[in-house]
Amino acid sequence: MDGNRVAVVAAVGVAGAIALPLVGMAAGALVPWAMSTFGTVVPGVGTVRAADGVADTLQYTSVALVSAKAAAIGAAIGAAFGWRST
């Protein structure tokens, strides 16, 4: 295995490890917007919204993807794509 292939696999693996948590953070940042857009704000109670709606999906996505496990999965997928592309 030459050094170029190792560098490509490592670089794409690192990109994959960074990409999934970034998507999770972006989803988490959109949760307040989704709650105010798709829900009804009730003073003293909070936001009433539909179950399994946009805000719920964003919340689940942010929790699932902002983790070491998601980063490891992203790194593995990225490395696999890097391996195939060289």
Q: What pLDDT does residue 47 have?
A: 81
Q: What pLDDT does residue 36 have?
A: 85
The stretches in the chain having pLDDT less than 50 are: none
Q: Whole-model pTM?
A: 0.74
Q: What pLDDT does residue 15 have?
A: 92
Q: What pLDDT does residue 24 have?
A: 93
Q: What pLDDT does residue 86 have?
A: 64
Q: What pLDDT does residue 75 have?
A: 92
Query: Containing H/E element for 13?
Result: helix 3-38
End-to-end, the C-alpha distance of the chain in Å comes to 11
The DSSP result for 45-86, as a single string, is TEEE--TTSHHHHHHHHHHHHSSHHHHHHHHHHHHHHHHHH-
How far is residue 62's CA from residue 14's CA, in Å, rounded to a whole number?
20
Burial class for 69, CB neighbours closer than 10 Å (0-12, 13-18, 19+): exposed
